Each structure stands twice: as C-alpha cells, then as structure tokens.
Copies of this chain bind each other. A is one copy, B any other.
Amino acid sequence: MNTIGLIAFALVGSSKAIREEFDVFGIVIVGLAMAFAGGATRDLLVTRIPLVLQSPIEISLGLLGVGLAITLSIILPSPDTHPVTLVADAIGLAAFATTGAIVATEAGVSAFGVVAIATINAVGGGALADILLDRAPFILFEDFYASCAVLGGSAYWVLGTLGATESTAAVVCAVMTIVSRLAAVTYDWHLPTVQELGLLND
C-alpha cells in the first residue's frame, strides 16, 4: 500500500516542479517532499523516527517516482494535468490515508486521532510541495481532496470499532478514498463557501 503511494506521490510532486521549471535538484526535492512529508509527519506525531530515514527501500521507491515523472515529461505534452498524473495522485491519496489509519490505530490514539493522522499522511506531502512552490496549499481550495482522506480514515475507524479485520478496514478505506476522489474530479464536485450558503449579511 505504502509502496504504491510513494511512487505515485513522488511522480506527482516532480511533475509539478518540472512545470515550474525547477532545476534537477529542485525536481528531486519536491518529488521526495511530496512522497515523504506526510509519512514523516505521521511518524513524528506518534513519536517514532521516520521510516524513510531508516529504510533504504523507501527512498529508492521515491526516486523511482521522480524518474517516472521526468520520463513522462518527455513523452507527454503537459504531464501535471494529464489523466495519468491525476489518477496517480488519487492512488497516492488512498494509499497514504490507509497507511496513516493503520499506523495511528497501532499507536492507540483517539477516533479523531486516527482520522487526523490518516488525513495528514495523505495530504501533508501535497501541502508541503505547494509551500515549496510558493503557492497556497491547493488542498484548501480543491474541496474533495482532503475530504476524501477524511472519509477513508473515518471508514477505517468505524469498521475497526465494529470488529472488522485490519485488512478489510484497509481495503474499504482505500476504495472509499480513491472512488470519492475520482468521482469528485470527474463530476467537478465542490463544497459551498459560507458566502454561497447565502448566510452572510451583505
């Protein structure tokens, strides 16, 4: 699960950096930041040394994603908005929401803690990538992005509480996240602002 997420997010992060014409070092950094920032934050929140600093496999997977992004940028016209990248992003989101929910449950945090860590694991990388690119994190503007991870993380907790096995809960979490995300992109879902709700006195 984590493996897929690492490759997918490194690919998406590097594609963004290529579009912004960052140099090769910047492309590698933004790709790795997107792949690892969410998971490293998750590990820090449950006070353990980030896995990426301990396992040589993790970093290799991230670099593989960076390499894929550079390859894609050569063969595709605008890779960062291409369906391949959008799908990779949705897959990464689902994979990391699930990984986060599993780690948080093992650390014994509250229900909110499980949902929060699943969401942070899923969206933390994208938020850091945007900050490195000097933009407001798109997760705050793209309505059904973080929300999808919240849905997945909540499903994981509900199923776990109802007595489902870890693998059942993980599959449902991943499927809910990716389906809601792809549906949101396809049908252009969005949440209303307070202004749109017509509640403000103008």
Does A164 touch B at the CB level, under 8 Å?
no
Known A56-B112, A132-B140; contact A25-B194, beta-carbon cutoff 8 A: no
Does A162 touch B at the CB level, under 8 Å?
no
Chain A 159-202, CB within 8 Å of chain B: the 1/0 string?
A: 00000000000000000000000000000001111110001110
A112:B59 contact, CB within 8 angstroms:
yes
A59 to chain B: which residues have CB within 8 Å? 110, 112
A117:B23 contact, CB within 8 angstroms:
no
Chain A interface extent, by class: 35 or more
Give A76's nearest chain B residue, CB to CB. B201
**Chain A residues near B (Cβ < 8 Å):** 18, 21-27, 29-30, 40, 44-50, 52-56, 59, 70, 73-75, 77, 104, 107, 109-113, 116-117, 131-137, 140-141, 143, 146-147, 190-195, 199-201
